[in-house]
Structure 1
């Protein structure tokens, strides 16, 4: 695993497309019990090199009901983005994750985490990639039907502050989905 993580952190495949430079961000271990697949690092994560080290990460940890020490323990949690480097900013926020990363690195990473019990698919990019035709037509519908993807996957919206409007419109998420998510996490970490 350490050799693979080193290869990922030294990857330069998309360098020509990254206006802020290359800085792959990933955390994983062979004992990881939970895999969190997100989108791509944001500007703050790019600067610090620490996955989910921003407001989105704060929200995600609240959703999971786990503290930072467990969240950043690779024997418990693997933090794997769809795109490992910050893609830059577009007209409506961060650009999508680079498409090269997931097919290049995910299969190698996943096979080295045989203890993983559940994979969280955070946001539409992870859901489309991993669920393919089994994903619903919208992220909202996919998240609402999360039980149909268990026990392997648990789809979630992105916890970005930009999604506060989505959260307000979809109160069922906090009332129905988050309690189930927390129960799954407690069972995995037991």
Structure 2
């Protein structure tokens, strides 16, 4: 399945840098990291979360790089597998063809998932559906309603520094609970 996804060209005509599906998964994974789509740095490296956002995410999760990138333990499956291009206020949304084509086929092959880290509005829409709140902030603030199975997070981008400053409850409440949940579901490594 991963080879099929990595060879995918469904939305090639819409991708400014061409297709380069970036994901990691194994049937033994207990944690799923579901973000939006790769950015330009990740498109270039082929390594998911290989940027400043990834460093912050690993810090939130309490994981070093070796554990974070151990696909036997952690699946990294974004809503879109390829860089979607630049929009007026950041990257464009992930291409819907990707999610619609591959997620229904791939997710059943990950039977051991115990924790879904839903990063940003697109992942939260997919994994929380109508249970989401009116805003992303309200959804993240209501994290206890979705835990322990799903933890909705704001994107760890440096562009969100203002959000972090205005929402200190996130680092005080959500991050420690998330770290504890990650420790409880990861098999000994």
TM-score (norm 2): 0.97
Q: Name the structure 1 match of 2:46.
A: 49
How far apart in 2 are the matches of 1:50 and 1:7? 18
CA RMSD, aligned part only? 0.9
Alignment match of 2:7 (pick from 10, 15, 19): 10
Alignment match of 2:125 (pick from 119, 123, 128): 128
Indicate the SS of the match to 1:41. Answer: coil
Indicate the SS of the match to 2:139. Answer: helix
Q: Deviations over 1:8-49 (max 9, x none)?
A: 000001001001111000100010010010000000000000
Q: Name the structure 1 match of 2:26.
A: 29
Q: How many residues are matched?
A: 187
Q: Name the structure 1 match of 2:135.
A: 138
Indicate the SS of the match to 1:136. Answer: coil
Moved beyond 6 Å, runs of 4+: none
How far apart in 2 are the matches of 1:181 and 1:130? 17
Alignment match of 2:167 (pick from 160, 167, 170): 170
Which stretches in structure 2 are left out of the alignment for 5+ residues?
none
How far apart in 2 are the matches of 1:116 and 1:58? 23
1:92 CA displacement: 1.2
Indicate the SS of the match to 2:125. Answer: helix
1:132 CA displacement: 1.3
Q: Deviations over 1:62-110 (max 9, x none)?
A: 0000010010001110000101000111221111111111121112221
1:60 and 2:57 matched: yes
Residues 19 and 82 of structure 2 are in contact (CA less than 8 Å); yes or no, is this contact kept in structure 1? yes
How far apart in 1 are the matches of 2:144 and 2:117? 12
How far apart in 2 are the matches of 1:110 and 1:26? 12
How far apart in 1 are the matches of 2:117 and 2:13? 30
How far apart in 2 are the matches of 1:44 and 1:132? 30
Alignment match of 1:71 (pick from 68, 71, 79): 68
Which stretches in structure 1 are left out of the alignment for 5+ residues?
none
1:151 CA displacement: 2.8
How far apart in 2 are the matches of 1:90 and 1:103? 22
Q: Name the structure 2 match of 1:185.
A: 182
Q: Name the structure 2 match of 1:161.
A: 158
How far apart in 2 are the matches of 1:104 and 1:117? 23
